[in-house]
Amino acid sequence: SHDFFCDKYLQGQHWVITAGPTREAIDPVRYISNHSSGKMGYAIAHAAIRAGAKVTLISGPVNISAPVGCQLISVISAEDMHQQALKFAPESTTFIACAAVADYRVANIASQKIKKTNDAMHLELVKNHDIVADVACLPNKPFMVGFAAETQNIEAYARGKLVRKNLDLIAANDVAKSGQGFNSDDNALMLYSAIDKTEIPLANKQIVAQKLVSLINQHYLAKQI
């Protein structure tokens, strides 16, 4: 069996990883987004490259640089990310959805800057495509790993997403706890499959990523038999 101390154990695998936030335009100067830093997805990309995988990193706007050796596909909106994910996923062995995708976009993006003429304003939002769920519907779907950012009922909500989105694994983090998850340097995860769970205790995201990459590979190999 392989672990993260062993060199190049992902040789021959191609991982496609989504990371960071998306930005949903309101008008030419404004957008809706979230606090995702991209650190977790970039740390996974780095760890997977170190283990010998080919990595395609489909990333929303972040302030960190891509790991050396990865193929970086920069996107802005959820719909851009959806398009690129469906383009690259069919050639991958493993798909990791680490991005904090905006659930909704603005129904009608204003072509000119919106002026503050009214005392109240309403934005109509429409739901974005679910990227990881759509990749999981591909005929030759890769090994599928999702994330679940939750503030309560972590296991139940995470397992719900695992089943609903047709995933092999889901990594859940408790974003209500301070010092972990969104925009933090540290994280703690629970990794759920249909039949088991594994805890990755609170540590620097680089360490968490190394453990997660190794665990994902173990589940991937187990599924190939």
**Residue with structure tokens 């395609």?**
56
| 103/185 with CB nearer Ca ion | 103
Least Å from the CB of residue 114 to ligand CTP: 25
**Residue with structure tokens 């990193």?**
57
113 annotated as ligand-binding: yes
Residue of 199, 132, 128 whose CA lies nearest to 162: 132
Query: Which residues contact ligand CTP by CB under 6 A?
Result: 18, 78, 97, 99, 101, 103, 128, 130-132, 146-149, 161
By the 8 A CB rule, do 216 and 192 touch? no
* 3-state DSSP assignment of residue 133: helix
Does position 3 interact with Ca ion (CB under 5 A)? The reply is no
Radius of gyration of the chain (CA): 18
Residue 128: active-site member: no
Strands (E), 75-196: 94-97, 104-106, 125-127, 143-150, 169-174, 186-192
Query: Which residues on neighbouring strands pair with residue 56, listed in sequence order?
Result: 16, 71
Least Å from the CB of residue 101 to Ca ion: 6
* 3-state DSSP assignment of residue 82: helix
| 130/168 with CB nearer ligand CTP | 130
With CB under 5 to 8 Å by kind, the binding choice for 55 among Ca ion, ligand CTP, none is: none
| 49/132 with CB nearer ligand CTP | 132
By the 8 A CB rule, do 93 and 14 touch? yes
Does position 103 interact with Ca ion (CB under 5 A)? The reply is yes
Of the residues 34, 63, 187, 217, which is catalytic?
34
80 annotated as ligand-binding: no
177 annotated as ligand-binding: no
165 annotated as ligand-binding: yes
Catalytic residue numbers, as ranges: 34
Binding residues for CTP: 103, 113, 147, 161, 165
Binding residues: 103, 113, 147, 161, 165
Contact residues for Ca ion, defined by CB under 5 A: 103
